[in-house]
Amino acid sequence: QVQLVESGGDLVQVGGSLRLSCTASGSTFSSFRVNSMGWYRQAPGNQRELVADITSDGSTNYADSVKGRFTISRDNAKNAVYLQMNSLKFEDTAVYYCNADYHGIDYHGIDHVGRHWGQGTRVTVSS
């Protein structure tokens, strides 16, 4: 089983900052590797959209709406990804989901490749 555990969502004022964290684990695999990781968000009535993603070697990609305000980073040793969000705006209000593209090998030697999603963490920006 692959698990993604997110944290850091909160109520924050416009202009404020938050840091989201997400850690991936593959407890049933003898070998577990995480490749790209990313953050998406979904506001009420909207589709889920990419916020930022990062490859295992640190290459990043951002949505235009967050460039210059948000920073994605990761700790490969911990299979963790972070999203530092500064200068928050009302329109950043959403449930934020992390994902991870993984490769696991189970104890029977079978490969498992896929993308797993976290449960979401809510960010609310208010005045």
DSSP state of 3: E
Looking at residue 27, its pLDDT comes to 87
Give the pLDDT score at 73. 98
Residue 34 has pLDDT above 90, yes or no: yes
Tokens 């235009």 appear where?
64
Rounded to the nearest 5°, which phi and psi values hold at 74?
-150, 160
pLDDT digits (tens, 9 = 90+) for 53-81: 999 999 999 999 999 999 999 999 999 99
13: tokens are 């004022």
Task: Give me the chain's average pLDDT, please.
Answer: 96
Six-digit token string for 51? 């916020």
